[in-house]
Structure 1
Amino acid sequence: MKKVAGTVWGYRHIVLLIVWLLYIINYFDRLSVLTFLPFIQKDLQLTPVQVGQLASVFFFAYAIAQVTAGFLADKYGSKKIMGFAITVFTAVTALTGVVKSFGQFIVLRIGLGLGEGHHFPPASRSINNWFPTEERGRAMSFFTTSWAVAPAIVPVLITTLSVYFFEGQWRPVFYVLALPGLLGIWALWYFVTDSPKEMLDKGRLKKEEYEHIVANTPDDVKTPVEKKKKNYGIFLKDGYFYVYLVVLFCQLAVYWGSTTWLSTFLVKQHGMDLKAMGFFASAPYVVAFFAMILGGWLMDKVFNRMKPIALIAYLGCIPVLWLLGTVEKGNTGLLLTLLMLSGFFINLNFGSIYAYLQKRYPKEIIGSAIGVANGVGQLGSFVSPLIAGYLVKVGPDGTQDFRMVFVFFALASALAALCSFILKEQQITTSHHPAIRENETSNL
């Protein structure tokens, strides 16, 4: 590819930074519930099974929203759908502070899932539109670090806010969290457009950077996506797409299963107070940030494919997660070490697993492909916390044992490793895919 001068840093990176910040705001809202979950459980007198149901119903709504979000983003553009998502989840988060019963909480969790579920596919589509093919692995990996940065800072920040400003209460924290959402709505409106061409026409994108973005895929970027015929059979008729769905299902089951139950695991099995729990709950995600960046770099610069990264990640998860549930109370050194290792292995493949779709399928249907994939994948997020709730063993004295929960996560990692080994990664284009050829023949 011919290099274009002055493209090391450009407006596309500002767009990426804004999309990244918006997703951190998204995670602030959902992770605050999970961080305070053991204390919400106590206040509302919830059982472990009910806690699992609250976590899972969010992901059920979230999974449904992923599918509709992908198609809506392809039809109406990423910016409008992201704006809708941020408005909804900001309002629902503020209302969480007034919840009084399990039934009310269920309704709010569904609302939060529907709002936040319409955020990821259009965000991914924005990155796809704004970055050339050879930069998408790193761009997506940086974007997915929002899933590490937010969990790394949210537990510490909101527990500190609760302890020092609200006398240990959790409800007022949710009112405060509405403020970042409002700022995010403004940032989206001002800094982001659906395509580089729109920003070029506004005079805020240099011609040289625009040419760099469209150099390898000029037709996909210069032609308005809404006017191109969309052939969803490109991915729906690809058998390896369904193998990929299993990998993503397991990835999200492990990530969100462990994230959902981490604070409760630390409080109930290891007896930590609010401040200590906040520190230990953040530890895996500090490491996760570097793991995600490393995974994207390995995909773009070393392997040029996802499979090796996935195998390292999932095979590493198996022993680490298995051992994590067996750590004795008081052995904080080993606990912290295993938490950090779990953060590394669980998150190493996160950026590359989503870049896989962007590298394999054409731009005009990528929003739909991501929406369908993440919709099915998020069912792993739905199933995992629910199963974990039934695997928690409650002792006569009220203590809780999470050993079998982490065995379950390790087994899910093993299945992901197996499917990753099977997966093929060659790029599919509209010029050679059978679904396209059949469609072209029928139109003759």
Structure 2
Amino acid sequence: MQQLAKKAWGYRHMVLVTLWLLYIINYFDRLAVLTFLPFIQEDLNLTPVQVGQLASVFFFAYSLAQVTAGFLADKIGPKKVMNIAIIVFTLVTALTGMVKSFGQFIALRIGLGLGEGHHFAPALRTINNWFPLAERGRSVSFFTTSWAVAPAIVPVIITTVSFYLFGGEWRPVFYLLAIPGLIGIFILWYFVSDTPKQMLDKGRLKQEEYNHITAESQESIADEESGTSQVKGVSASIFLRDPSFYLYTLLLFCQLAVYWGTTTWLTTFLVKQHGLNIKEMGLFASAPYVVAILAMLLGGWLMDKVLHRMKPVGIIAYLGSIPVLWLLGSLEKGQTGLLLGLLLLVGFFVNLNFGSVYAYLQKRYPKEVVGRATGISNGIGQLGSFVSPLVAGYLVKVTVDGAQDFGNVFIFFALASAVAATCALLLKEEKVGASLSSSTQEIKKQIL
């Protein structure tokens, strides 16, 4: 029966798909601003410096929110935190259509960052509650494809809506984006619960699947009753005193720096260094994200089914990123075939470890502290998203004729990948407390 629950589609997969859709909605709101930013800049008479500030302040607020999101998910439950987050970023997105000044826009960008920043850690905590350890790599990998799918489809959808429904105006699109937010609030309320037990009590989860999901927890309860449990009263010190937690956080900082650095500057790089027109740029810019979807799923599958660890996946991803990023930045204008090939490779290697990297904490630490560990590490890690686009801006070379060279920018991204690879090599992956549990089991055997 348990083996049947493992193979068949279960309610836990419905929860996962719901979380995935909710994060697509999250990205609709985030990417809408970036897509319409040139038109917003023109309407509000913003300088390039102000545009840069608007882009970076979001990530600053977003990174701060990660920490409180993790603690709140552990304290009041992930569903409540996600509900608050969706309400906030839906409201802020609708208000963006009314913005009239730079000051108002800064306030809204901070509000959007705080709202969306309280979505991620609770979503991962929910996956942790609903999936057994052996399935978390794949489940988290599927969830992370939401931020590969969204950049591939959102710009096309919202610009099409703007053109055909609103005559090219950008403001009404933000009002319209309140509708997906309202739908998200409903599906979160209806399909998701903090724990499988809540859905079991409602009769919407079968006992066989519940037993499959909670098998490890039942073993922990048995250990606790027999005096062998090592996780009772778990505190945050279990990860705060772990050197691998800080290596992991630095690794995540570098990975997000590369991802959001390339995402922020990619379209400018394609237009300014390679002279692509708008139509060509759209095609080339979407290419990495199409490959990213497959890479994320592959990374999770490798972690769960083949390598059984995150470290090898990370090393492959980061070492592969170094040469392709370096070559991409040095590529001369006119080599469009090679340009497309390198973009596809960047999409593959930069995203290969995304699913497995977020499963690392869930596999290393007890679930009682996963929310806090995720919140702190992702909060610090997201500062990479804030720092990277700003640093890259200073590294762009502007020639006498006004052309722009991004060679140093992509060298910077390659160096960040090298730091991430070093961190991956040094990480420890065995579950914290495993050695203590083994010792306790040995003592128990001697007593018996």
Q: Give the structure-1-normalised TM-score.
A: 0.91
The CA deviation at 1:97 is 2.4
8 A contact 1:48–1:390 mirrored in 2: no
Partner of 1:155: 155
Q: Give deviations 1:386-438, integer Å, cap 9, x for gaps.
A: 112222334556544333222211111111111111111111138839xxxxx
Alpha-carbon separation, structure 1, partners of 2:116 and 2:163? 28
- Answer with 35-44 or 67-76: which moved more: 35-44
Aligned partner of 1:294: which letter? L
Q: Matches of residues 188-199 of structure 1 in structure 2 within 5 Å?
A: 188-199=188-199
Q: Give deviations 1:187-221, integer Å, cap 9, x for gaps.
A: 00000000000000000000000000011222679
SS in 2 for 1:424: coil
Partner of 2:104: 104
318 and 168 in structure 1: CA distance in 2 versus 1, 3 angstrom threshold? farther
SS in 1 for 2:152: helix
Partner of 2:287: 283
Verify: 1:36 aligned to 2:36, yes or no: yes
- Answer with 203-212 or 143-152: which moved more: 143-152
The CA deviation at 1:3 is 4.2
Verify: 1:186 aligned to 2:186, yes or no: yes
Partner of 1:5: 4
13 and 241 in structure 1: CA distance in 2 versus 1, 3 angstrom threshold? same
8 A contact 1:220–1:364 mirrored in 2: no
Partner of 1:441: none
Partner of 1:436: none
* Percent of aligned pairs with the same amino acid: 72
The CA deviation at 1:37 is 3.3
Alpha-carbon separation, structure 2, partners of 1:259 and 1:392? 15
Partner of 1:437: none
Alpha-carbon separation, structure 2, partners of 1:336 and 1:288? 14
The CA deviation at 1:326 is 2.9
Verify: 1:241 aligned to 2:240, yes or no: no
Partner of 2:23: 23
Alpha-carbon separation, structure 2, partners of 1:259 and 1:221? 45
Return 5+ residue gaps in structure 1 as ranges.
Answer: 434-444
Q: Matches of residues 77-116 of structure 1 in structure 2 within 5 Å?
A: 77-116=77-116
Alpha-carbon separation, structure 2, partners of 1:102 and 1:220? 54
The CA deviation at 1:95 is 2.0
371 and 172 in structure 1: CA distance in 2 versus 1, 3 angstrom threshold? same
- Answer with 160-169 or 256-265: which moved more: 160-169
Verify: 1:426 aligned to 2:430, yes or no: yes
Partner of 2:122: 122
Alpha-carbon separation, structure 2, partners of 1:332 and 1:166? 34
Partner of 2:144: 144
Q: Give the structure-2-normalised TM-score.
A: 0.90
Alpha-carbon separation, structure 1, partners of 2:159 and 2:334? 22
The CA deviation at 1:165 is 3.4
Alpha-carbon separation, structure 1, partners of 2:261 and 2:57? 13
Alpha-carbon separation, structure 1, partners of 2:331 and 2:40? 25
Alpha-carbon separation, structure 1, partners of 2:163 and 2:390? 30
Aligned partner of 1:195: which letter? T
The CA deviation at 1:274 is 4.1
8 A contact 2:260–2:388 mirrored in 1: yes
Partner of 2:269: 265
Partner of 2:227: none
8 A contact 2:93–2:178 mirrored in 1: yes
Verify: 1:200 aligned to 2:200, yes or no: yes
User: How many residues are treated as equivalent by the alignment?
Assistant: 429
Alpha-carbon separation, structure 2, partners of 1:252 and 1:357? 16
- Answer with 330-339 or 161-170: which moved more: 161-170
SS in 2 for 1:305: coil
Which structure's CA Rg is the greater one?
2
The CA deviation at 1:109 is 1.2
Query: Which of 326, 330, 339 is 1:335 aligned to?
Result: 339
Partner of 2:326: 322
8 A contact 1:247–1:420 mirrored in 2: yes
Alpha-carbon separation, structure 2, partners of 1:78 and 1:272? 44
The CA deviation at 1:47 is 4.6
Partner of 2:406: 402
Partner of 1:442: none
Aligned partner of 1:4: which letter? Q
Alpha-carbon separation, structure 2, partners of 1:154 and 1:423? 36
Alpha-carbon separation, structure 2, partners of 1:137 and 1:155? 29
8 A contact 2:2–2:208 mirrored in 1: no
The CA deviation at 1:92 is 1.2
Return 5+ residue gaps in structure 2 as ranges.
Answer: 225-231, 438-448
128 and 151 in structure 1: CA distance in 2 versus 1, 3 angstrom threshold? same
Query: Which of 306, 310, 321 is 2:310 aligned to?
Result: 306
334 and 167 in structure 1: CA distance in 2 versus 1, 3 angstrom threshold? farther
395 and 232 in structure 1: CA distance in 2 versus 1, 3 angstrom threshold? same
Q: CA RMSD, aligned part only?
A: 2.3
